[in-house]
Structure 1
Amino acid sequence: MSAPEDTAVPETPGIHDAEIEQLFGAGGALGGSVGSYRPRHSQTEMAKAIASAIANQGTLIAEAGTGTGKTFAYLVPALLWGGKVIVSTGTKTLQDQLYTRDIPTVRRALQAPVSVALLKGRSNYVCHFHLERTLQNGRLTAREDVGYLREISRFVKTTSSGDKAELSQVPETASVWNLVTSTRDTCFGSECQYYQDCFVMKARKEAQQADVVVVNHHLFFA
């Protein structure tokens, strides 16, 4: 009896493969909404793998080179079939890019009714209590810091997020931020007189209610 020939076992098609092919194809939703978009086989295959992992509630570790189009490859299945999704980035630049550009672009192309929230660590948000205390102390001696504090005081009256990254007039590295933000040890939590207006609590509440949350694993614990 002759030995049987080795035969490759074909992979089982994912339940969303056909939809992925259509969405990432030349005439698909992405091509019609993103001017510079062009179909890439590796991107489509990565999106299929991610969609299958979501459908099967499995785990997937994917590595792809520059030019693959990784962002769209994971955003499309995540926004369509991911349920509650947390996207964690390694840089603040990518976090901001995802929140302000990539996710809105994909959401618009797919017409996906998902809500999105941006979440950072508490030291990235102005603290009403520490700001008020710093204003009352009046111990700042450097003219630059006095000017920065004035800008932050104005900012708090107009911002809805309290995210210091939105105040371009004050560098994120300015030392005055340490006086007007809180840490885990200096936050009074629900006992704070400003708890109802707290920007950290507001951001966390929005994150709990959102379908997609964009975090930066460096800033999240800061």
Structure 2
Amino acid sequence: MITLWLIGIGTGNPDHVTGQAIRALNGADLILIPRKGEAKSDLADLRGQILSQVLTAPVPVADYDVPVRADQDDYLGAVNDWHDAIARVWAETIAARQPQARNVARNVALMVWGDPSLYDSTLRIAARLPGIKVKVIPGITSLQVLTAAHAIPLNTLAAPVTITTGRQLRDHGWPVGATTLAVMLDKGGAFTVLPSDTEIWWGAYVGMPEETLIHGTLAEVSDEIIATRAKLRAEHGWIMDIYLLRRGGDV
């Protein structure tokens, strides 16, 4: 049986790759590297740079092209179709590297940004592959790196934290009963639906050399974040950002 190792590699900083992840990568028979188009080619390059620093012996690497998600009104339907397509590509890529029964890649590794459990669908895609055992190596998340970069606690005293997406925030506003919001996967500016005294800790490319941080109330920094995000995306061709929100006065 083939084992697919989903390995959290943090936010792009090789120092965030854990010892457990390094051992799993070195124990792999094959490592899959996604290609997401020319604009995001440096993401694949970052994975390659990490491998060059952590591998102690050569491990075969197979690149694959990530299918493009359809842009349609049925968001969940489009995502499910997209995940089906990615699973097929994984299966085809792995099968193409099994020319002989005696040369089976029994341990296949896939490097996942942050951690495979937090707003990442790699586990859902892997579940579509019959006959493949899945194991997970946890990684440092962008949320951890964000709070460390701003030197703040994630939660207020004795209070919960709600992790949500930009889409949910934009469509439904502040969740009832929430005191702290961690917002991921925002295409940009979802926080503009909130009161101007809301405090925000924003970060792009956290943990990477390009790391950019902004903190203040929305009244003070909302426009700055939107402009900075657009500028960074234009410069790099892609952006990864995340932010924490608290109501005015919460500590």
TM bucket, shorter chain: under 0.3
TM-score, scaled relative to structure 1: 0.25
User: Taking CA–CA contacts closer than 8 Å with sequence separation of 6 or more, which of the two structures ends up with the larger relative contact order?
Assistant: 1
Q: Which has the higher strand share?
A: 2
Max Rg structure: 1
Question: TM-score normalized by structure 2?
Answer: 0.23
The structure carrying a bigger helix percent of its residues is: 1
